[in-house]
Amino acid sequence: MKVQSSAPDLESVQSSIPRHVAIIMDGNNRWARQRGLRGVEGHKQGAKTVRDTVENCARAGVEVLTVYAFSSENWRRPQDEVNALMNLFLEALADEVPDLHKNGIRLVFIGDLSAFSDELRDKMQQAMKQTVGNKQMVFAVAVNYGGQWDIANAAQQLARQVKSGGLEPEAISPELLQQKVALAEFPPPDLCIRTGGEHRISNFLLWQLAYAELYFTDVYWPDFDDAALHEAFADYQRRQRRFGRTSEQVEASQQ
């Protein structure tokens, strides 16, 4: 991985580069089937695409990249595929974390990590601890994650505060709940990309994506290269983000 400052051709639109990009990486199995390969081969190629995307996002000036690696529903997949994914996680941690750390990338895992093996969970914790001080970019990986679980988990934290007498129910607000959901310390996603042709967010960052721009592409995740990423950025730059205001109000605020 070679991470440098923002590419020269992006400097003029640097303010239009999304600070936080979230990606639903879909299409690994279909990519493999089209080539007569086992599904795990699609996931292996997809892992290479993750590496390239981290590099490309860091070079473009993205501050936070969050990828949906393994949802809480993915446990329902065939056991051999789940086992292969767990092995890929272990291999990726061993192979990629030193490189991420060298390039100043902070690695964060979000989701219910308690479902993973002790070995995998320990390696995740070690990777987060090793890279916690890095400033180039945050790379957040959602594993055993679901948006509904995330919101329920945040509500449980507030409920415990109410039960202990430290919080009045009337004091619970969207701002307070925001402090308890995953990724609370980072800016909310500006752009959510889904590859593979499906047009849904599949229980991903339900709270955090409230005002994100959604971008769907037919490109399968293993084929999602730098050109595809920048097409998503170009589409994002053509949009006007109003956050409840009128177009006239937005335009007036930019003058």
Q: CA 170, 173, 177, 179 torsion: positive or negative?
A: negative
Assign residue 24 a region (left: φ > 0; alpha: ψ between -120 and 50; beta: otherwise): beta
CA-to-CA distance for 148 and 245, rounded, in angstroms?
28
Maximum pairwise Cα distance, the chain:
60
CA-to-CA distance for 78 and 87, rounded, in angstroms?
15
Return the bridge partners of 255, or none.
Answer: none
Specify the residue for token string 């967010």.
Answer: 201
Helix-helix angle 79-102:118-131, to 10 degrees: 20
CA quadruple 73, 200, 215, 143: dihedral, nearest 10: -10
CA-to-CA distance for 200 and 6, rounded, in angstroms?
31
Active site residues: 26, 74
SS (H, E, C) 36-100: CCCHHHHHHHHHHHHHHHHHHHHHHCCCEEEEEEEECCHHHCCHHHHHHHHHHHHHHHHHHHHHH
CA-to-CA distance for 17 and 187, rounded, in angstroms?
13
